[in-house]
Amino acid sequence: MLLEIENLRASIEGKEILKGINLNIPSGEVHAIMGPNGSGKSTLSSIIAGKDGYDISGSIRLDGQEILDWEPEIRSRAGIFLAFQYPVELPGVGLSSFLRACVNERRKYLGEPELDASAFLALMREKAAMVELSQELIRRPVNQGFSGGEKKRNEIFQMAMLEPRMAILDETDSGLDIDALRIVAEGVNKLRHAQRSMLVITHYQRLLEYIIPDRVHVLMDGAIVMSGDRTLALTLEEKGYDWIRAEQEVSS
C-alpha cells in the first residue's frame, strides 16, 4: 500500500474537523475525494502534506513508514506532493531557481546526484511542454502575475518536475475554464504511473470526466461516508449530497 491513513483525527482551536478518516491508496491508483464545502477536504490534504497548527491523532503511512512526525519538507522529499488550491506568489523568486532547489532536495534525499544547470534546463523544457506552460512563464518569479489558470498549470508542472510518489490535487479544477481544465487533466493523465498514486480532491464530477479515478470517496462532516467506483461520482452529480445524508439516516 502506498498511502495508508488510519483513524486520522484533526482539530484546530478545539474544533474537530477530521473525525477518524480511514483511507488506503495502492500504488498506481487514482482516488477521488468528493464532498460538500466545509466537509474537511482541504484540511485532509494539508495534513497529509504536513501543515502545522492542528492537533492530530491517528496514523499516516507512506510506503509503510509513519510520517506524522515528519516536517513538510521531509514528506515532500520522500515523495508527497500537494497541488495547492490557492498557490501563493513568491515575489522576486525565479521559478526555475526555486524548482531547481526543490528538485535537487528530492534527488539528494533519494541518493541521486544533483542536476546541473543544463540537465535541469532540459528537464524543465520537457515538462513545461507537457503541461503547455510557456517558456516565458518559467522565467518569471513563482506565480507572480500568473492568471488563475496559469497558477494551476504551474502546480501540475511542478508535480511533473518533482515526480512524486503520492500527488494530492486540492480542487485543482476550481476556477478553471473548460480549456484550462482539459490541459491540466491531460497533464495529470500523462503523469499517471504504476509507481505513483494520486488523490484528486474535487467539488464537482466534471474533473473526473477527464481524470478517470479508480475509486471515489465521499467526505462529509470530517469522515468518509461512502466509497465506490467512478459511477459513484455520477450518482452524486445526479442526486446531490443530500442523497447521501438521507442514505446515512436510513442506515443509522
Nearer to other proteins, 91 or 251 (CB): 91
Consecutive H or E run containing 12: strand 3-12
SS3 (DSSP) at 93:
coil
Nearer to other proteins, 47 or 185 (CB): 47
Nearer to other proteins, 100 or 215 (CB): 100
Q: Are strands 166-170 and 55-62 parallel, antiparallel or unpaired?
A: unpaired
> CA–CA separation, 198 vs 191, rounded Å?
10
**Least distance to other proteins, CB of residue 86, Å:** 8
> CA–CA separation, 181 vs 162, rounded Å?
21
**Least distance to other proteins, CB of residue 78, Å:** 9
**Least distance to other proteins, CB of residue 235, Å:** 33
CA contacts within 13 A on the Cβ side of 162: 28
Nearer to other proteins, 98 or 210 (CB): 98
SS3 (DSSP) at 22:
strand
**Least distance to other proteins, CB of residue 211, Å:** 21
Nearer to other proteins, 98 or 241 (CB): 98
Contact residues for other proteins, defined by CB under 8 A: 49-53, 71-73, 75-77, 81-82, 84, 87-88, 90-94, 97-99, 101-103, 105-106, 109, 141, 158, 162
Cα–Cα nearest to 32, from 195, 175, 234: 234
**Least distance to other proteins, CB of residue 88, Å:** 5
